[in-house]
Structure 1
Amino acid sequence: MRFKLSSLIGAFLLPFLSFGQTKKSTPPNWFNLDFQTDGVMGISTEKAYELLKGKSSTPTIVGVLDGGVDFAHEDLKDVMWINRQEVAGNGIDDDGNGYIDDIYGWNFLGNSSGENVEHDNLEVTRLIRIYEPKYVSVLPSTPLTEMERREFVAYQQMVADYTTKLDQANFGNVNYSRLKEELDQVIANIGKQPEEITLSDLNDYKTTNDRQKMILRISKKEVDKEGFEKFYKDLEEGVEYYKNQTEYHLNKSYDSRSIVGDDYDNNTERFYGNGDVKGPDADHGTHVAGIIGAKRKNGIGIDGVADNVKILAVRIVPDGDERDKDVANGIRYAVDQGAKVINMSFGKGYAYSKSTVDSAVKYAEAKDVLLIHAAGNDAQNNDIEKNYPTKYYTDSLDAIVGEASNWITVGATSSGLDNELLADFSNYGYKSVDVFAPGIKINSTMPESKYKEMDGTSMAAPVVSGLAALIRSYYPELSAQEVKNIILKTVTKVDKKVKVKSGSSSKKVYLDEISVTGGIVNAYKAIQEAESYSKNKS
């Protein structure tokens, strides 16, 4: 879920992956704004702070389980959780918690020598690698036990999914690479840097082949929207994405777990990794952290949602699918360090050891910790298609046996109150997706004190995590379940149909047909409700 293709490139080259939603011009902090006052479907954060004037708050620790966080960022360094009991760099577990030099959090994707996992497989690749030796030669007539038959059917479904993904990746890898080669030649012939190229330069350019004509047509459209430099960066990301898909994500011969050096099949193992919470690629996690709690009103960068937060960085997501053991350990670590909210902007279509994650979710539930999970970016119905981890506890046959009371699943919306309000990439589900929150053109922090707009339910989830942290800061007497109930009860209902993807076509539905609450989170109304809850408890 960590990469979403540029809409125009995807639409032109890969119709089966395209997302064609119009990107409207919005203020960079629109997710904090109010519809009545500002004309955008933000969550009314600034309006909520008017209710909180003069009220004291306590710091709330938010665990950011992600791909890494740049703790030195100018807009995050003052809001990072710091383990004051640990002495940095001395190689000693000073606080005796089992994690050496965990100053800003912990990295479960590395080893004690400082090496880190950057790339990994998708979970479907890992599962096929396990099941293939056993089932690749099985015929319909081969005698199997009931358990083996279930595994064999699941394996066949995995192979079909894997084959589709690999075909798409190979197609994308070839075509994006060729297009970039042509565009690089065009840029070289023009004699300017990408940031300098204008529409006039493209109009004046004389193409030499059909592929150049195609890339020029795409480029001209993009210059009118967001500029040539943005388009070129999107193309670079596309090239890297498909290269990583073929070389790592879908490569059955590639397995990076030896870098970590743990006993991978021992799901009770807790103490492995290192203290490098930034890791080799902290873009996604840094962006998520900024949405939650980038320093407010400091005159630089952006304002996060919560104003009294401590970001605890827990690195568990590689370039590829996260592993269930790491997810479970990340949750447990964050809980043990005092996190009251945990953001999980990741997800995958398969699970290796769901029971291990379920156990960690129950641990967080028992410790009064609220978990916020992104719904996913596949434009799918999560009631039908799985997006792990989930709020449902299941048995060995994958039958639902309970539901976590401390869990919120978040879909993504855009800034305008129209039929494109629902982000066209966002997953949804009448039972499985609880609420929606802003997730398009969200400007936030990036490594090396930079900033960038990104799209995704990965951006919507931290908006809700920030709201949860805001409530828990000013009303610490409220439980995780009460905070969840407040957030779900006070959503902004939208009495207007939105466009939702349905297979290869689309249809129009109301938000209450594709989510539990049928609304977008609202900080102003949530604070009003929290105040009422608090008074009733006193």
Structure 2
Amino acid sequence: MRVSIFFILLFISCKSLEKKQNDFEKSIDTLIIWHQQDFKKDSVYGISLNKWYNKNYKKIRNKIIVATIDSQIDINHEDLKNHFWTNNGEIPDNGIDDDNNGYIDDINGWNFIGVGDNSIQAFTNFDFVRIIKKYKNDFKDLDSIQLQSKQSYTEYRRALKKYKEDKKYYERYLKEEGVLISAYYPAKDTLKYYFPKENYTSEQLDSLYQLYKINDERFVDKVNNYDASKKAFSDLIYYMRMIKRYNFTIESMKNSSQHKDSIVNKLLNLDYNDREKIKNNHLEKGYGNNNLSSHDRLKKHNTKVSSILIGNRNNNKGVKGFHDNIYIMPLVISPFGDEHDKDIANAIYYAVDNGAKVINMSFSKEFSLNQEIVSQALQYAEKRNVLVVHTSGNASSNIDLTPFYPTDFSYINNTELTQNLITVGSISKRIDSTLVTPFSNYGKNNVDIFAPGEDIYVAIPDNQYAYDSGTSLAAPMVSGTAALIWLYYPDLTVQEVKKIILESGVSIDKKVIKPGTKNEMVSFSELCKSGKVLNTYNAMKMAERISRKKNH
């Protein structure tokens, strides 16, 4: 079997967008932190944070807490440490819920997918798998015509369609990747006949492939270790030239295969119980553990997100966050798979009850088994004057038509449920028709505003830094702006802060390429509710005017 172009495109697309910064000693002042720049001065649609610091910054004593509902985090990172929320009502590591909030030893936050005292539930089902598991017996033998009007049946059918597509997709991927892995060493050994030093290039392999693809037997006679029962030599050349062309290594292929094996056998597995080991999961709250940094592979995402918010502004390295008086409350809900709605809701309640003013949610999913409990938590946050900021997602989709969760929008009734949630799309530093990043979701009704989300300089675990891209990084731009507003103007309501952020943005009066298309041009204003990109400087000036008016 030949590995198709499907495999190549999928393998490349699954590679991280992260680009590591190798010169870690380089001063932060020499790095291009474009997202904090200003359009008039720098010709990029940055958020103009540098402009605000240059013209308006004054020291304050206020502090503000931003909860990041996300993955685990590198709590000891040099650019983040000393900027984490501390629960002063809790005595560390005494095994007692000293402040009676339902969580034992929650010193800096909580891990809702914690297992035992120190571990984590690393793999969970996709939510469409959970929907199938819940409803498959209910709808198995019933007449579908009678069920067309039932929302649960409609969602079950949508989930089943997605399940079948993904299962076929990843099983094929896994099989084709297995072919490359199995061919690697036979191809490597066989090619020593022509290249004893193994110094061949993909171009040389192309030439050799053309020479021997018609008649393998002529070469077989000359290669003693060739096993004709397995693969023709032209096939081995074909696989090795593919490996060389895309700079694959046996290690990267094995890691990728292991990754996709987890998708097939855990995330897509209808028999996999992803809550079996979580401590006290039957409780409404208090399940999980207080370990925020136990899993090396699962602490990268929140480290990136949080560094945009709280990167130390005074250590002359790493990332300059929004303000040194912002403190992060890490709340862990994100595994490899989809987040449980129960965990999302409980994390929102925890954040609100423990003093967070802004909640950043840099995750999204296409299905929601229990969205109603998340909606109730969002309403709880709104009543307590807490802003929630959510990423739009990275599927190049119109989320007015294709649901993405969590959301403040009812796809059943087409109504907005709260006024305290901002959904954020991603822009690049390009100012032409490719302004909107091609991966970003969009929606005239369900995306509120766009913010920088491509080639963003962030912290990654182990005191390292990288450039990365995603709507996950656009969301904390808005969260940081909201936190900065409330640091200086704490009298504003959550509705006022949301209005300020949306109305103070920079209007984009041009046509851009719609995400998910090659060259379909649409007005930028058709991609989000405000028709604007975030501008922190403008937001702070507007907040100052509104606060002054309220107090005079």
TM-score, normalising length from structure 1?
Answer: 0.85
Aligned to 2:335: 318
Paired residues for 1:91-490 under 5 Å = 91-140=95-144, 150-179=151-180, 202=201, 206=205, 209-219=237-247, 238-263=256-281, 269-280=284-295, 281-392=298-409, 398-490=412-504
**Cα drift, residue 52 of structure 1:** 2.7
**Cα drift, residue 235 of structure 1:** 6.4
The answer to whether the 8 Å contact 1:358/1:393 transfers is: no
TM-superposition CA deviations, 1:76-118 (whole Å, max 9, x none): 1121111223222111112222211111101111245433211
Aligned to 1:195: none
Give the match's secondary structure for 2:114.
coil
Q: What is the aligned-residue RMSD (CA, Å)?
A: 3.2
Q: Distance in 1 between matches of 2:485 and 2:200?
A: 52
The answer to whether the 8 Å contact 1:60/1:310 transfers is: yes
TM-superposition CA deviations, 1:397-444 (whole Å, max 9, x none): x32454311110000111110111111110000010000111112221
Q: Distance in 2 between matches of 1:169 and 1:38?
A: 43
Indicate whether 1:73 and 2:74 are aligned.
Answer: no
Q: Distance in 2 between matches of 1:44 and 1:64?
A: 23
Q: 1:236 to 1:300 in 2, by over 3 A?
A: farther
**Which one-letter code corresponds to 1:340 in the other structure?**
K
**Cα drift, residue 350 of structure 1:** 1.2
Query: What is the identity percentage for the equivalent residue pairs of Structure 1 and Structure 2?
Result: 35
List alignment gaps of at least 5 residues for structure 2. Answer: 22-29, 193-198, 207-235
Q: Distance in 2 between matches of 1:15 and 1:429?
A: 29
Q: Distance in 1 between matches of 2:188 and 2:538?
A: 51
Q: Distance in 2 between matches of 1:331 and 1:156?
A: 30
Q: Distance in 2 between matches of 1:247 and 1:128?
A: 16
Give the match's secondary structure for 2:472.
helix
Give the match's secondary structure for 2:120.
coil
**Which one-letter code corresponds to 1:115 in the other structure?**
S
Q: 1:367 to 1:140 in 2, by over 3 A?
A: closer
**Cα drift, residue 38 of structure 1:** 2.6
Aligned to 1:85: 89
TM-superposition CA deviations, 1:57-85 (whole Å, max 9, x none): 51110000001122111111121111223
Aligned to 1:533: 546
The answer to whether the 8 Å contact 1:11/1:18 transfers is: no
Q: Distance in 2 between matches of 1:91 and 1:307?
A: 31
Give the match's secondary structure for 1:92.
coil
Q: Distance in 1 between matches of 2:261 and 2:375?
A: 33
Q: 1:80 to 1:418 in 2, by over 3 A?
A: same
Q: 1:31 to 1:360 in 2, by over 3 A?
A: same
Give the match's secondary structure for 2:429.
coil
**Which one-letter code corresponds to 1:485 in the other structure?**
K
Q: Distance in 2 between matches of 1:520 and 1:236?
A: 41
Match of 1:516 among 529, 533, 543: 529
**Cα drift, residue 536 of structure 1:** 0.8
The answer to whether the 8 Å contact 2:202/2:242 transfers is: no
Aligned to 1:491: 505
Q: 1:180 to 1:312 in 2, by over 3 A?
A: farther
**Cα drift, residue 167 of structure 1:** 1.5
**Aligned length in residues:** 500
Q: 1:390 to 1:40 in 2, by over 3 A?
A: same
TM-superposition CA deviations, 1:233-284 (whole Å, max 9, x none): 98677545423321221111212201114455x7xx1221111122421111
**Cα drift, residue 155 of structure 1:** 2.0
Q: 1:466 to 1:97 in 2, by over 3 A?
A: same
Question: For the pair shown, which has the larger CA radius of gyration, 1 or 2?
Answer: 2
Aligned to 2:37: 33
**Cα drift, residue 162 of structure 1:** 0.9
TM-superposition CA deviations, 1:361-418 (whole Å, max 9, x none): 0110011100000001111001111001111257xxx324543111100001111101
TM-superposition CA deviations, 1:33-60 (whole Å, max 9, x none): 2233233322111111123333425111
**Cα drift, residue 452 of structure 1:** 2.4
Give the match's secondary structure for 1:257.
coil
TM-score, normalising length from structure 2?
Answer: 0.83
Q: 1:270 to 1:248 in 2, by over 3 A?
A: same
**Cα drift, residue 123 of structure 1:** 0.2
**Which one-letter code corresponds to 2:529 in the other structure?**
V
Give the match's secondary structure for 1:76.
coil
**Cα drift, residue 17 of structure 1:** 6.7
Aligned to 2:9: 13
Give the match's secondary structure for 1:118.
coil
